[in-house]
Structure 1
Amino acid sequence: MDIKKHIPNTITLGNLFCGCIAVTFAFARDFEMAFYFVCLGIFLDFFDGFFARLFKVSSPLGLQLDSLADMVTSGVVPGSVMYFMLKSSSEMPDDSYFPLLGFIVTLGSCYRLANFNIDTRQTDSFIGLPTPANALFILSLPLVKVNFDSLMVLELLTNQWVLLAITLFSAYILNAEIPLFSLKIKKFSFKENALQVVFLAISILLLVIFQYLGLPLVIITYILMSVINNKFLKK
């Protein structure tokens, strides 16, 4: 039996397992642990395709498993977190159905993942924000609310209309026709991954300086760097 061909799918299932654990923490309102397990799942998701290409064992099964795992880790979890953020927002009645709108994040993620599998334009880059990046953005919000000492930030992140606007923007940017560079490393070559390396360096700097607030700033930086990169490619 060729063990190598099972390694990428095993890594993908590890991503799914992390997503399942993150869901349990999200419903326990332990958003910090949910965030950590989503990060671990995204880390595994980052390398399953790499090892599939390295061992030359890419398969349609692996592609489908990857999307199904991402649906939980980067779709169900952020939708659940947004649901609870809306539920705990200011002036929200306990019996309100309004917080269910948080799962629009999950719907947008599902549509993007399904479309990604049939969109031949997204082999070397992305069209719209990848679901892992969007998940990190959403999961960073309750951490910013708790750990960032700012009354204005607290008021914004407890306002149901601001949270709904973030939810709708999340679903939009996931499926927007905006080319974004891929974060996956295909070869260990600085020349071919210079953009990714620069982005990683900036991300580390933002996280060190701003800590939890740096997380949404990293995602915004990713979008801006992609737009700037697109401008240079057109020239």
Structure 2
Amino acid sequence: MKKYIPNAITLLNLLSGSIAAIFAVNGHFVSAALFVFLGIFFDFFDGLVARKLNVQSALGLQLDSLADVVTSGLVPGIVMYKLLALTTDAPDVTSDWNVDSFKLNIMLFPIIGLLITLASAYRLAKFNIDEDQQSYFKGLPTPANALLIVSLPLIIEFQNSDAMNAIILNKWFLIVVTLFSCYILNSNIKLFALKFETYGFKANATRYIFIILSVILLIILQFAAIPVIILFYIILSALDNASIK
């Protein structure tokens, strides 16, 4: 019976992502972000439970990736689509789903945001057949990328900064973020994983430094800290790789 527990938790990830997608399509970014956060929690928790119960399976691996395609792939793609739609005066096709309206009003420009969904799916497929990514990741994990994207409307909603809002709602900024997201998801850059085989500081100095500084940044910058933390994660990984060489 215990072998089904991790898969049930993974399905909760998928359910959370599906609910988040509904909210995102309707422009309810805060609710969508909440369920993305919940889905990512389940995504972390299912692997932890599988290891503790010693019931890892090939089925669990595939199911985990399928759930991540929705929670950490489809949802951030929709969020970026909606943000790009806000930067233009053209109609948003998600507001009217009848066929005639779709043919007349389809907006090709915001669809650029869905490249994030495609890049996420490609990354997850590569991850499933790559046996090297045990103690590190090649490219940014999809949950981290999802946090990066869904943080943008949260910054607009809660930071109350006209300067930040102007930057985020600039279509060229959003295009750059989209292209950067697609690249970093599928790059060969080695990024450290937050998996502790031991808890000694010397062996995990990079991880401890990252966690401590992340907490400090979240306290100071709130949601605006999330993009900074992602960039810091990439830079710290690069420095860590350089020190090993």
TM-score, scaled to structure 2:
0.88
What is the correspondence of 1:7-156 to structure 2 with a 5 Å cutoff? 7-89=5-87, 91-94=88-91, 95=105, 96-156=107-167
- Work out the CA distance in 2 between the residues paired with 1:34 and 1:149: 20
RMSD: 1.5
Greater CA deviation, 17-26 or 194-203? 194-203
Number of residue-to-residue matches in the alignment: 229
* Displacement after TM superposition at 1:224 (Å): 1.5
* Displacement after TM superposition at 1:47 (Å): 2.0
* Displacement after TM superposition at 1:193 (Å): 4.9
Structure 2 unaligned regions, length at least 5:
92-104
Aligned to 2:199: 190
1:208 maps onto 2:205 in alignment: no
Aligned to 2:100: none
* Displacement after TM superposition at 1:203 (Å): 1.4
What is the correspondence of 1:161-200 to structure 2 with a 5 Å cutoff? 161-183=172-194, 185=195, 189-191=198-200, 193-200=204-211
* Displacement after TM superposition at 1:8 (Å): 1.2
TM-superposition CA deviations, 1:133-181 (whole Å, max 9, x none): 0000000011112323333322221121221111111001000110001
TM-superposition CA deviations, 1:91-121 (whole Å, max 9, x none): 4322432111110000000000000001122
Superposition misfits of 4+ residues, deviation over 6 angstroms: none
Greater CA deviation, 164-173 or 223-232? 223-232
Greater CA deviation, 204-213 or 152-161? 152-161
- Work out the CA distance in 2 between the residues paired with 1:224 and 1:186: 20
- Work out the CA distance in 1 between the residues paired with 2:182 and 2:65: 17
Answer whether contact 1:50 1:186 (CA < 8 A) is retained.
no
Aligned-partner residue type, residue 16 of structure 2? C
Distance 1:159-1:32 versus aligned 2 partners, 3 A rule: same
Greater CA deviation, 105-114 or 11-20? 11-20
TM-score, scaled to structure 1:
0.92
Aligned to 2:230: 219
Secondary structure of the residue aligned to 1:122 is coil
Q: Identity across aligned pairs (percent)?
A: 50
Secondary structure of the residue aligned to 2:137 is strand
Secondary structure of the residue aligned to 2:191 is strand
